[in-house]
Structure 1
Amino acid sequence: MVRTAQRRDRSSARQGLRLVAAGRRWDAVRVPTRQGEALVDALGTRCGDVIRDGPGYLFLITPGTGDLITTPDVTVYGRSRHVLIPAGDHTAPPGPHWVRPAFHLALEEVQ
């Protein structure tokens, strides 16, 4: 188990991933892949920060507003939760990557 965790930690470091606390400067909302793709397309240039990872899309939103979301299949990460944030220049797979560049202060937290 320890070796697996160490390999995961090394892989995360290579991809520039950082574990960052949610609920301070932003909340993160995870939506399934299909809905995430549709939402990014529908919002177009009005879309804020979005991270793509294995289970879906993470939208970074104003802190505290995630509490208002009660949609099935949507997970909100607010206070006391953490999210893997990719490096600012990581915009393609493998691993979590930015679909929309970071406009929030998420990058300040990982640099």
Structure 2
Amino acid sequence: MHTTGTGLPAAGGCELHDAGIDWDAVRVPRVLGLTALDILGPRSGAVIDDGHALYWFLPLGTVDGWEGESTRLLTAGGSLTVPPARRTQGPGPYWRICPGDTNWHTEPAALRAAIEDALDARVRNTP
């Protein structure tokens, strides 16, 4: 998997890459995303953490019809700041789960279910 796109340099060795070429992505607010990541466990592909949100990579074209609460889709026309390989802590964007040669993508239905379960857990835990 290559992150083709603009490849424009950003701070700290990060690069800005276009979505909708090799992958689409889903942005989830950080607290909700961390819960969803716990639910997904080893079923998760690569995940970027920018301190405010988590970003999952999905196979190109698989976000059609996605209507997840608290999520934002990154498709053609969108872009994402991608950290250098193996950067696993900030400051700045870093890999919460590093990509390998074959584990960039997360299965969309599994991610959607994990986000829904995380939202349900948040509602149950609200006083």
Aligned partner of 2:119 in structure 1 is: none
Q: Which has the higher helix share?
A: 1
* CA distance in structure 2 between the aligned counterparts of 1:99 and 1:17, rounded to whole angstroms: 15
- 1:81 equivalenced with 2:89 (yes/no): no
Q: TM-score, normalised by structure 2?
A: 0.68
Q: Unpaired segments of 5 or more residues in structure 2?
A: 1-7, 106-127
Identity of aligned residues (%): 32
User: Which residue identity is paired with 1:69?
Assistant: W
Tell me the number of residue pairs that the alignment of Structure 1 and Structure 2 aligns. Answer: 95
* CA distance in structure 2 between the aligned counterparts of 1:11 and 1:75, rounded to whole angstroms: 22
* CA distance in structure 1 between the aligned counterparts of 2:34 and 2:104, rounded to whole angstroms: 20
Please list the CA deviations of residues 38-75 of structure 1 after superposition, one character each: whole Å capped at 9, or x if unmatched.
11111111110100013210011111112231112210
Q: Unpaired segments of 5 or more residues in structure 1?
A: 1-8, 106-111
- 1:46 equivalenced with 2:43 (yes/no): yes
Please list the CA deviations of residues 67-111 of structure 1 after superposition, one character each: whole Å capped at 9, or x if unmatched.
231112210000111110000121101110001111339xxxxxx
List, as ranges, runs of 4+ consecutive aligned residues in structure 1 with deviation greater than 2 Å: none
On the 8 A contact 1:67/1:76 being kept in 2, the answer is no
1:18-29 matched pairs, under 5 angstroms: 18-29=15-26
Closer, same or farther in 2 for the Cα pair 1:11/1:18, shift >3 Å?
closer
**Alpha-carbon shift at residue 11 of structure 1 (Å):** 6.4
Q: TM-score, normalised by structure 1?
A: 0.77
